Structure 1
């Protein structure tokens, strides 16, 4: 475990490399989702294979999550992007980055790419989307429900979760309730500054969207493809919002394919990808399911 002081926040970071004294071929930054999520959802799924493939893997706990500091306020999307900027500076990570974000983490990753297009080599959105007015309204509804059901009726909610989802999920939900109760997160995120379609179009690097076939977010595929100059989407049948932990093999291979293509700097990487939505087969051995997935997007 490493704790990094970014100047205003202590952040928990884990970094994996290829080992065997091999130099890393590129840096990939993994950003997790809200409330019940942490860097563990990557550590137990795709991070080790990424490191074995020769990548410098940086993953961290968002503010208020995992082992990172939990200030009472400062939870807008811009605050999250600022935290990522400060962390990369503290780690002295230079050069173009491959950004991977799950759920809300994808919104942070895309926001960073929109702010610093020169530093984004590629972006992968796992069950995620750029920040728009509709995104903010949807997050507002989800966080309001979490606040009411968990923070205000915690005992009953946790009893139901324990009975239907198990003790580990109830433990994660208890932490989410504390976060919603003790910070301004539920108010800050829906009030975040969002991106215009022109700002979204300005992200020129290769973008990959990975969605569960049974998730409502899979409907975003045509919209993303219509806005982004180099965008490909993959739908994994039989999965919903937890596709990262439930189908880690498929997700990891798709991300590695994106990184290889973007790193090659070939004509393929600079030309729009014609295909719209590509179904992916479920792996025979799904990823580690113990890490937990985000309840909020």
Structure 2
């Protein structure tokens, strides 16, 4: 476990060196961005981060601002601040000049997409797992978070969980209460800008988008894959939103193959004109 100072905050960071041969200095570092509130870097560790490192890619995991063991300020939970946090953290780790491949789960996928649009010179690949896109998701998420905030306000649940010796559940509940009731997280999400097809068309890096067959986020993922010049949509059969936990084998194979393709593309000089929109998109493809 390590703590790194970035954006004037203390971030909890795990850095996994590439274990399959020497890590080439021009090979993208794989950075993992987790989801909201009760999520943290640990959700990536066994399903993806360790396999990625063993396959020869340096991996960086960190708890987002206010999440897990990172510092929890009262403000700064908007996407712009998240991108600044990411860039500052990479600089603090001495990786500011290395290309990066961002792997984002759920809301972390949204942040990864923001970062790729803001810094196309830095982000050379994307892997987006169940990325929430579009205004409808924002409205639904705000309703869910607001209801959770009300249920947690002055709630005896954390103390009761400790009484039952359920320390991990009590800790996560306490973090959720702090984030929802004592920070600007809900207001910051409410003020977030939604993506447009024009945004997707600006993406110049390969983007793998993975969704469960029964996920409500599939329509937004299809739109992204259609408009992104290098979009590749994979829909995992029989699954819902949580593909990271429910489909580790198929997901791991898809992600590792995409990382190799994206690393190869990043190493090649780019042509002057981008490929036709959606040329690489696999709309509705099923991974067995």
Aligned to 2:282: 275
CA shift in 2, pair 1:193/1:220, >3 Å:
closer
What's the offset of the Cα at 1:34? 0.6
Q: CA RMSD in A?
A: 2.7
Aligned to 1:89: 91
What's the offset of the Cα at 1:213? 1.8
1:127 matched to 2:134? The reply is no
CA distance in 2, matches of 1:4, 1:183: 22
What CA deviation, in whole Å up to 9, does each residue of 1:196-252 have, x standing for no partner? 432232112111111122221123232122221111111122322221022122222
Q: How does the TM-score come out when normalised to structure 1?
A: 0.83
CA shift in 2, pair 1:223/1:33, >3 Å:
same
* Aligned 1:235-274 pairs, distance under 5 A: 235-265=235-265, 272-274=279-281
Structure 1 unpaired stretches of 5+: 161-165, 282-297
CA shift in 2, pair 1:254/1:20, >3 Å:
closer
What CA deviation, in whole Å up to 9, does each residue of 1:20-63 have, x standing for no partner? 76225431110000111000001132111000000010110001
Q: How many residues align?
A: 274
Secondary structure of the corresponding residue to residue 226 of structure 2 = helix
The farther-off stretch of 37-46 and 20-29 is: 20-29
1:210 matched to 2:210? The reply is yes
1:221–1:276 CA contact under 8 A, matched in 2? no
CA distance in 1, matches of 2:142, 2:36: 13
What's the offset of the Cα at 1:137? 2.7
2:21–2:56 CA contact under 8 A, matched in 1? no
1:149–1:157 CA contact under 8 A, matched in 2? no
Aligned to 1:37: 39
Secondary structure of the corresponding residue to residue 217 of structure 2 = helix
Aligned to 1:294: none
Secondary structure of the corresponding residue to residue 187 of structure 2 = helix
CA shift in 2, pair 1:159/1:253, >3 Å:
farther
Secondary structure of the corresponding residue to residue 238 of structure 1 = coil
Structure 2 unpaired stretches of 5+: none
1:136–1:191 CA contact under 8 A, matched in 2? no
The farther-off stretch of 64-73 and 22-31 is: 22-31
Selected match of 1:75 from 68, 77, 87: 77
2:20–2:54 CA contact under 8 A, matched in 1? no
Secondary structure of the corresponding residue to residue 198 of structure 2 = helix
Relative contact order: is structure 1 or structure 2 higher (C-alpha 8 Å, sep ≥ 6)?
A: 1
What's the offset of the Cα at 1:176? 1.1
